[in-house]
Amino acid sequence: MAEGRQEGEAQLILLQIKRRFDVLPADLVAKVSALSIPELESLAETIFDFDQIENAQAWLDQC
């Protein structure tokens, strides 16, 4: 059940990233998909503070 929740949250965040930045690099998809539920929730809270896709990538590099 937790795995399904993690996958769902990751998919939602990837949709938000695609909509916000109009791109979805493969490496970013892999990094988001590998995040834990708490990490995904933290990303969901901060994603709208990013003004460039590089900000999201830098955040993911810190995980």
Q: What is the pLDDT of residue 40?
A: 96
Taking the domains of the chain in order of start, what are their residue ranges?
2-61
Local confidence band at 1 (pLDDT 50, 70, 90 cut-offs):
low
Is-contact 10 47, C-beta < 8 A? Answer: no
DSSP designation for 50: -
Q: Which two tokens stand for residue 43?
A: 């990303």
Local confidence band at 56 (pLDDT 50, 70, 90 cut-offs):
very high
Q: Could you report the per-residue pLDDT of 4-42, keeping only the tens digit for each?
A: 889 999 999 999 999 999 999 999 999 999 999 999 999
